[in-house]
Amino acid sequence: MKTISNTEFGGERPLFASHDLRIENVTVHAGESALKECGNIDAVNCRFEGKYPFWHVKGFSVRNCLFTEGARAALWYSNDLVMSDTLVEAPKMFREMDGISLENVQILNAQETLWHCRNVELKNVSVDNADYLFMHGENIHITGYRHSGNYSFQYCRNVEIRNAVINSKDAFWNAENVTVYDSEINGEYLAWHSHNLRLVNCRISGTQPLCYAHGLVMENCVMADDCDLAFECSSVEATVCSPVRSVKNPRTGSITAQSYGEIILDENIKHPADCRMLICEM
């Protein structure tokens, strides 16, 4: 493997079509597509300032690097990335990728990031300003995660999340086959139109959660006092270890909670309209 170290590049495509290359202590200044159409790249202690540095790359690792705000849309149409101990200040990272592993990564401006990505693993990752994160993602495994930004995980499939704090309104809309363990989810309108969402040992907050959900399962969860008008038009099997402020027109299944502030069943309830609401034994 060839090594390039302690140098700087700028302009258009300075390392275009490079293969079997290690770059160390390299700064990529303003320009475009520094490492486009490359393969087997190892980047260590590098600084990326120009746009689109890693496009159409097959097999690469990024360690102890910095992507400044100017390095927007940095990793697209690529596969088999391992990134660790890296700070990302740029938006629109990771698009149309297959095979992403992130560990100890902080993404400060995660707007429109991780779209149409498959086979993704995150460990000890935090994201901020993360509107529309993970749109249309598939086969995602996350542990040790902190998220701040709205409309997250929409249209995702096959997701497992553990030990996370997710602050996001409209999270998990239209998501399918998602399981969240031991986590906190804060934000209104949680998981509308989702399919096969399972929440285990989770705390949720926000108005009108879990409506129009299909196959919703909740195990040993807690709902905050602002979780009003929950479960409208949903099929649900829920065990809630707290009071539920209000339930409105659940479609079918059963809900077991410590108590209910209000149960609304009116003429708009949908067939089969047979959801049971039970009180758990203390």
Mean pLDDT, to the nearest integer, of 171-197? Answer: 98
The residue written with tokens 């901020």 in the block is: 128
The residue written with tokens 């065990």 in the block is: 239
Mean pLDDT, to the nearest integer, of 28-32? Answer: 94
Mean pLDDT, to the nearest integer, of 175-179? Answer: 98
Residue 239, pLDDT > 70, answer yes
pLDDT score for 282: 57
Is there a contact between 236 and 214 (Cβ–Cβ < 8 Å)? no
Mean pLDDT of the chain: 96
How far apart CA 272 and CA 255 sit, in angstroms, is 15
How far apart CA 201 and CA 182 sit, in angstroms, is 5
Residue 278, pLDDT > 60, answer yes
pLDDT score for 95: 96
Mean pLDDT, to the nearest integer, of 22-39? Answer: 95
> Phi and psi for 172 in degrees, rounded to 5?
65, 25
Which two tokens mark 218? 């909740």
For 2, 80, 151, the CA distances from 24, given in Å and listed in that order, are: 11, 20, 37
How far apart CA 142 and CA 170 sit, in angstroms, is 19
Whether the bond into 272 is cis, omega within 30 of 0: yes
Is there a contact between 148 and 128 (Cβ–Cβ < 8 Å)? yes
pLDDT class of 14 with cuts at 50, 70, 90: very high
What residue type is assigned to position 110 of the chain?
Answer: A
pLDDT class of 209 with cuts at 50, 70, 90: very high
> Phi and psi for 114 in degrees, rounded to 5?
60, 50
pLDDT score for 1: 86
Mean pLDDT, to the nearest integer, of 124-144? Answer: 97
Planar angle of CA 213, 219, 225, nearest 5 degrees: 75
Mean pLDDT, to the nearest integer, of 168-184? Answer: 98
Residue 280, pLDDT > 90, answer no
